Chains A and B, each alone.
Chain A
Amino acid sequence: MSKATEISSHDAGATAAHEDHHEHHIPKGVMRWILTTNHKDIGTLYLWFSFIMFLTGGAMAMVIRAELFQPGLQIVEPDFFNQMTTVHGLIMVFGAVMPAFVGLANWLIPMMIGAPDMALPRMNNWSFWILPFAFAILLASLFTEGGGPNFGWTFYAPLSTTYSNDSTALFVFSVHIMGISSIMGAINVIVTIFNMRAPGMNWMKMPLFVWTWLITAFLLIAVMPVLAGAVTMVLTDKFFGTSFFDAAGGGDPVMFQHIFWFFGHPEVYIMILPAFGIISHIVPTFARKPLFGYASMVYATASIALLSFIVWAHHMFTTGMPVYMEMFFMFATMLISVPTGVKVFNWVATMWRGSMTFEVPMLFALAFIVLFTIGGLSGLMLAITPVDFQYHDTYFVVAHFHYVLVSGAIFSIMAAVYYWLPKWTGRMFNIGLAKTHFWCSLISVNVLFFPMHFVGLAGMPRRIPDYSLQFADYNQWISIGGFAFGLSQLIFLAVVIQACRKQGEPVSDRVWEGANGLEWEIPSPAPYHTFETPPVVK
Chain B
Amino acid sequence: MAKPASNRAMVTRLVVIVVGMFGFGFALVPLYDVFCNITGINGKTNASAAVYTAKEIDRSRQVTVEFLTRTHTGMPWEFRANTKRIKVHPGEMATVNFYVRNPMRKDFVAQAIPSVSPGEAALFLNKTECFCFNQQPLAGGGEATMPMSFYVDPQIPEDMTYFTVQYTLFDVTARADSLDDTDNPFLNRTGRSD
Contacts and interface: CB of A to CB of B under 8 A. Distances in A.
Verify that A and B bind, or say they do not.
Answer: yes
Interface of A: 7, 11, 14-15, 18-19, 22, 37, 119-122, 183, 187, 190-191, 194-195, 221-230, 233, 241, 244, 247-250, 252, 254-255, 258-259, 262, 320-322, 325
Contact of A247 (B2, B14, B28, B168): B168
Contacts of B18: 183, 187, 221, 224-225
A313 B26 CA distance: 18
B22 A15 contact: no
Interface residues of B, number: 40
B11 A320 contact: no
Given A322-B39, A322-B41, 5 more contacts: A223-B21, A225-B22, A227-B25, A229-B22, A322-B118
Contacts of A119: 3, 7
A120 B3 contact: yes
B170 A320 contact: no
Contacts of B119: 320-322
B41 A325 contact: yes
Q: Do most interface residues of chain B lie in helix, strand or loop, or is the interface mixed?
A: helix
Contacts of B21: 221-226
B19 interface: yes
Contacts of B143: none
A224 B111 CA distance: 35
B51 interface: no
B7 A11 contact: yes
- Specify which of A191, A254, A325 lies most central, judged by the most chain B CB atoms within 10 Å of its CB: A191
Interface in B33-79: 39, 41-44, 47, 72
Given A121-B1, A187-B15, A225-B18, A195 B10 contact: yes
Nearest to B114: A247
A72 to B, nearest CB: 28
Contacts of B10: 190-191, 194-195
A262 B32 contact: no
B157 interface: no
A222 B17 contact: yes
B98 to A, nearest CB: 17
A247 B25 contact: no
A241 B175 contact: yes
B100 interface: no
A226 B41 contact: no
